[in-house]
Amino acid sequence: MSTSSPIDRQARRAPHVAIIMDGNGRWAARRGLPRTEGHTEGEENLARVVRAAVTRDIGWLTVFGFSTENWVRPRAEVRHILGLHEKLFSRIAELNENNVRIRWIGRPFDSPEARTPKYVQRAIRRALHETESNTGMVLTVAFDYGGRAELMAAVRGTRRAGSAITAAAIDQHLYLPDLPPVDLMIRTSGEHRVSNFLLWQSAGAKIHFTDTPWPDFDATELDAALALLA
C-alpha cells in the first residue's frame, strides 16, 4: 500500500504513540521480588517516560494501564494495580509542571459492564478536571479498556443515532472521538501481540517490539522506537 493512504495523511501532526507496558511481573521475578513490586516500578517508570516524551515531538501518548481482561488476575494484584492508578492520577502537580493533560479511556463508568471502583473514578475525574487546560502533550490512560468492547459500543452508538455504519460514524462514537489515529505502537517485554489495544485507532500504526521489560524501558529505548517514524 502507498504511504499516502488516508490513515497516514491524518498522521501529519505531533505523533500519537501508544504503549503496551508489558513485563512488570517478569522484571520482578528476575529479582526475586513479588509481582506487585514490578507494577510499582512500572508506575514509577511511566512517570519517567512521560517526562521523556514531553521533551520529544510526541503530541499524544496513550498507555495500556488495565484491560477488560485483567480483572481475572489474583485479587491482591488487581487491588495493587488499582492503587497504582489512583497514585498515577494523583500526580497532578507533576502533570501541570509538564503542561500535560491527562485523560482516561475505558468502559464508561455508567455502563452495565464497567468495573472501575468509585475511588479510582474519583481520582480520574479530579485529574481530568485539574489538568484540562494544559496545552502540551495529552496522556491518555486506558483503564478497564478493551478494543473490542469499544468497537461494539461504537457500533451500538452509531445505530442508536440512526446513522449508517460508516467509518466516519464509528469514529464519532468511539470512547474518545478526538483521539487521533495511532502512529506508533510500542510493546515491551518480548511479546508480539496487540492484546485488544486501540484496535480501530491503530489500523495504520507502525509497531515497535522490544525485549526490554517495561520497568527498564527508558528514553534511549523511546528514541529507538521513534526512529520508526523518521
Q: How many residues bind ligand FPP (CB under 6 A)?
A: 21
Stretch that binds ligand FPP, among 39-47, 95-103, 156-164, 165-173 (CB under 6 A): 39-47
Active site residue 70: yes
Residue 81 engages ligand FPP in binding (rule: CB under 6 A): yes
How many C-beta atoms lie closer than 10 Å to residue 207's C-beta? 16
Residue 141 engages ligand FPP in binding (rule: CB under 6 A): yes
Residue 68 engages ligand FPP in binding (rule: CB under 6 A): no
* β-bridge mates for residue 105, sequence order: 142
**Closer to ligand FPP by Cβ: residue 25 or 106:** 25
Minimum distance from CB of 45 to ligand FPP (Å)? 7
Q: Which of 37, 43, 150, 183 binds ligand FPP (CB under 6 A)?
A: 43
Q: Which of 7, 70, 115, 117 binds ligand FPP (CB under 6 A)?
A: 70
Return the residues of window 159-218 that contact ligand FPP according to CB under 6 A.
189, 214
Q: Which of 11, 17, 46, 120 binds ligand FPP (CB under 6 A)?
A: 46
Cβ-contact 140, 60 below 8 angstroms? yes
Which residues of this chain interact with ligand FPP, rule CB under 6 A?
Answer: 21-26, 39, 42-43, 46, 63, 65-66, 70, 81, 84-85, 88, 141, 189, 214
Annotated catalytic residues are 22, 70
